[in-house]
Structures are given as C-alpha cells and as structure tokens.
Amino acid sequence: MSVAIGSDHAGFNLKEFVRKHLESKNIDIIDFGTADEQSTDYPDYAVKVGRAVAEKEAAWGIVICGTGIGVSIVANKLKGIRAALCCSEYMAEMARKHNDANVLAMGGRTTSPDIAKRIADIFLSTDFEGGKHSVRVGKIHSLTKR
Ligand code: RB5
C-alpha cells in the first residue's frame, strides 16, 4: 500500500509529522512536497497527490494546507477522486465507510498532530461499507461524466 502525501507551506509541519508516523508503521510514502515553510501554492501539491491516486500510482492520498479546504477543493476536481476534509476521527471513519474517500484532506492550522495521526490511522484502516453507499458514490461519479 502506497500513500501519496503533499502539502503547501501551511501544511508542511503536519505533513512531516504524519509522513514520519506512517513511515514508522512501514507504510510506503510518495512525498510530493513541499519541502519547507516557504510560501507556495496549495493547488500545485494537491493536484500531484490527486493524480497519483487517480492513476493508481498510490492507493491513497493525503493533502494538507492551512485549513484543508483548498487542497480538498483541488483534489476533488480530478476524475475518480473523492477527497474528504476530516477534522475528527469520526469524520475519517465516515469518509471511508460511507463515502469511500480515497484522499484525506487535513488542516495544518486547524488540526493538532496527535488528532491528525489518529485521523490518518483510521482513514487508512477503515473499509467502505458498500451497499446503499455504493449507489450514492455512483451518483457522484455519474455527475462528473456530464
Ligand atoms: C495559505 O495561507 C492558506 O491559504 C492555504 O494553506 C489554505 O488554507 C487554503 O485553503
């Protein structure tokens, strides 16, 4: 299982924290940057992560900016991507069980490292429930075809 990860400057510290946490669990990480806290543009990183997931280079994506809002908007522009902005463990669980989210978005200025670590762990280990939720997810993707 590979996880693509990327952030802008506002998400850099949280990205590094989450990356190291996942690497400590022997999860293979593809890090698309950014590499420091110098001001940069979040769409550049969110699109790289989203493309890696859409093209199956990675099974999952994690995108981080100041609030998580900008990166989630960008990632959701890509076909096949279901990015979910999660601020709690419950949201991470539901994003997987009900929405089959394949990209996790978080805010470096809004979510503590400890909560982010737990959100990432839940996101990466929770299965989609399928059933009626498959019908709903299918309706999302039928919209992107129009
Ligand atoms: C950067 O200042 C900030 O606007 C960005 O990280 C993000 O929060 C945008 O949604």
Per-residue confidence of the chain (146 residues) as pLDDT tens digits? 899 999 999 999 999 999 999 999 999 999 999 999 999 999 999 999 999 999 999 999 999 999 999 999 999 999 999 999 999 999 999 999 999 999 999 999 999 999 999 999 999 999 999 999 999 999 998 987 65
> Of ligand 1's atoms, which has the minimum distance to the CA of residue 10?
6
Residues touching ligand 1 (Cβ under 6 Å) are: 8, 10, 42, 65-67, 69-70
> Which residues, in sequence order, are CB contacts of 49 under 8 Å at separation 6+?
4, 5, 6, 32, 58, 61, 62, 63, 75, 103
Residue 121 pLDDT: 98
Q: Are residues 60 and 1 in contact, defined by beta-carbon separation less than 8 angstroms?
A: yes
Q: Looking at residue 63, what is its pLDDT?
A: 99
Q: Six-digit token pair at 58?
A: 């990675």
Give the closest residue (by CA) to ligand 1 atom 3.
66
Residues 49 and 72: beta-carbon distance below 8 Å? no
Domain extents in the chain: 2-145
DSSP annotation of 101 reads: -
- The alpha carbon of 72 and the centre of ligand 1 are apart by a number of angstroms equal to 11
Q: What pLDDT does 1 receive?
A: 81
Closest of 88, 32, 95, 25 to residue 64, by C-alpha: 32
Question: Nearest C-alpha to atom 5 of ligand 1 is from which residue?
Answer: 66
Q: Which phi and psi angles does 117 have, rounded to 5°?
A: -60, -45
Centroid of ligand 1 to alpha carbon of 85 (angstroms): 14
For the whole model, what pTM was predicted? 0.97
Active-site residue 86, yes or no? no
> What is the predicted pLDDT for the residue at 146?
54
Atom of ligand 1 nearest to the CA of 70: 10
| Domain over 2-145 is classified CATH 3.40.1400.10 | yes
**CA distances for 8 relative to 128, 138, 140, angstroms:** 29, 31, 28
